[in-house]
Amino acid sequence: MVRFWWEFGGGTCIAIVQVPDVQQWHQQALLHPYPRVAFLEALAAEVSALQCPGATHKISENFLEFHH
Q: What is the pLDDT along the chain (68 residues), one digit of tens a residue?
A: 889 999 999 999 999 999 999 999 999 989 999 999 999 999 999 999 999 999 999 999 999 999 99
CA dist., res. 14 & res. 12, Å (int): 6
Contact 67, 57 (CB under 8 A): yes
Q: Report the distance separating Cα 10 and Cα 18, nearest Å.
A: 16
**Dihedral of alpha carbons 13, 8, 44, 62, sign:** positive
Task: Give the model's pLDDT for residue 2.
Answer: 86
